[in-house]
Amino acid sequence: MEPQRSPFAHLASDLEHLATLGRRRALQPFAGLDFTSNDYLGLANSLELRDAASEAVARHVPIGSGGSRLLRGNHPEHEALEQAASRYFRAESALYFGSGYMANLTLFSAAPQRGDLVVHDEWIHASVRDGLLRGRAQVAIARHNDLQSIDDAIMDWRARGGVGRAWIVVESLYSMDGDGPDLVALAELAERREAILVIDEAHATGVLGDGGRGLAAFLDGCDNVIIVHTCGKALGTAGALICAPRVVADFLTNRGRPFIFSTAPSPLVAAVTRVAIALVERDATRRERLRALVAFASRELMRWCGLTASGSHIIPIIIGDDRAAVDMAARLRGHGFDVRAIRPPTVPVGTARLRIALTLNVDEAAIEALFESLASEGKLPG
């Protein structure tokens, strides 16, 4: 009797194909100096947030919510966080989600309506794309950081009879390139085309802009602007906040299926996130320290490797070939640096890279040693 073929053989075959391309992924424990995480301000394991968690537990704040926000899962800590976020980010309302992915999935699957057009940057977060796949609006993809490409997409849609609302969707700081669009010009374009502007501040929240409120902080109070702030990066906790006119939060509460049918985020995490917001609001020391590290890293990257940095706390080092990027990352981990390779489909084919994230979990000596080790491993594309 012949052995029965596994019902998951097709999945195994797909994994083998990924391996032949050098793109098969596996979970790895973290080890070595942190040049990978998004814990930009070093808050995730900070004494301040650990004390905040202990204090919340002492107040009997529960770990789990026990249900969705529309049922018994709506805890006072969720509402306190949303009120604090609204004040800090100077928004009419804030709605808290369990993750940035869930926030974007909810927003883009529900808010753009049939007959609308959503124009997004070609390197927008996967969560935005996945939300749009579940939505009803038409979608156009603009070239990276190219305002003319966005405007052309809107005008072409109007010329073809589009009569709904246009939406423009960008990130303020892109996680794989460390760059971003001209937000002032983008806001002017949105105003001119009567478009809704959505800005994902995931990698800028707490780090950049006035008081750490993000690069789009100057758009406070604009009634055509929605801003998504992630809590799981510089704020050191988990979740995300959609900051927008109150009607948007009310609509998502009523029509956003991922929000409606998900168990509410942990009240304990909400309580700690409120403390994290207070920390970044009242003390700029961590932001200033990170800014100094960014400047130092830019000089050291040029000195050791002859490469120009992005100017932000995200530094991509393009390797090109997928396997070469994986091998280089492994060699750096062998030197004691936690560096990971980023490969397609996360980035375009032929642009596999090392993504160097600068955080307050390292110092100048570690940065210099990283780039010295990188230079010692051989010539880099540049």
- Domains assigned to the chain: 29-45+284-376 (3.90.1150.10), 61-282 (3.40.640.10)
Quick one: average pLDDT of 281-303?
Answer: 97
Quick one: average pLDDT of 129-153?
Answer: 98
Quick one: average pLDDT of 157-183?
Answer: 97
Q: What are phi and psi of 104, to 5 degrees?
A: -70, -40
pLDDT-derived band at 312, boundaries 50, 70, 90: very high
pLDDT-derived band at 378, boundaries 50, 70, 90: confident
Quick one: average pLDDT of 26-46?
Answer: 94
Residue 198's beta-bridge partner residues?
A: 169, 226
Residues in CB range of 145: below 8 A, 6 or more apart: 121, 179, 180, 181, 182
The pLDDT assigned to 28 comes to 85
E strand or H helix that includes residue 334: helix 322-334
Quick one: average pLDDT of 12-29?
Answer: 90
Given a cut of 60, whether residue 382 has pLDDT beyond it is no
Query: Would you state the structure tokens that stand for residue 42, as one six-digit string?
Result: 């070093």
Given a cut of 60, whether residue 123 has pLDDT beyond it is yes
CB 248 within 8 A of CB 198: no
Query: Would you state the structure tokens that stand for residue 62, as one six-digit string?
Result: 């529960």
Quick one: average pLDDT of 173-195?
Answer: 97
E strand or H helix that includes residue 81: helix 76-88
Alpha-helical runs (H) found in 22-75: 47-58
Given a cut of 90, whether residue 381 has pLDDT beyond it is no
pLDDT one-digit tens code per residue, 344-364 = 989 999 999 999 999 999 999
Smallest CA-to-CA distance from 270 within 84, 109, 103, 77 is with 77
Q: 151-182: b or e for each residue (b if 16 or more CB lie within 10 Å)?
A: bebbeebeeeebeebbbbbbbbbbbbbbbbbe
Average pLDDT over the chain reads: 96
Enumerate the active-site residues.
38, 125, 171, 175, 200, 203, 233
The pLDDT assigned to 45 comes to 97
Report how far residue 290's alpha carbon sits from residue 285's, in angstroms, rounded to the nearest whole number: 9
pLDDT one-digit tens code per residue, 191-224 = 999 999 999 999 999 999 999 999 999 998 899 9
pLDDT one-digit tens code per residue, 92-113 = 999 999 999 999 999 999 999 9
Quick one: average pLDDT of 43-68?
Answer: 98
Q: What are phi and psi of 267, to 5 degrees?
A: -60, -35
Q: What is the pTM of this model?
A: 0.94
Given a cut of 60, whether residue 18 has pLDDT beyond it is yes
Quick one: average pLDDT of 68-89?
Answer: 97
Question: Helix %, strand %, coil % for the chain, to 5?
Answer: 45, 15, 40
E strand or H helix that includes residue 337: strand 337-338
| Between 220 and 292, the higher pLDDT residue | 292
Given a cut of 90, whether residue 370 has pLDDT beyond it is yes
CA contacts within 13 A on the Cβ side of 146: 13
| Between 378 and 265, the higher pLDDT residue | 265
Given a cut of 70, whether residue 17 has pLDDT beyond it is yes
Amino acid at 267: P
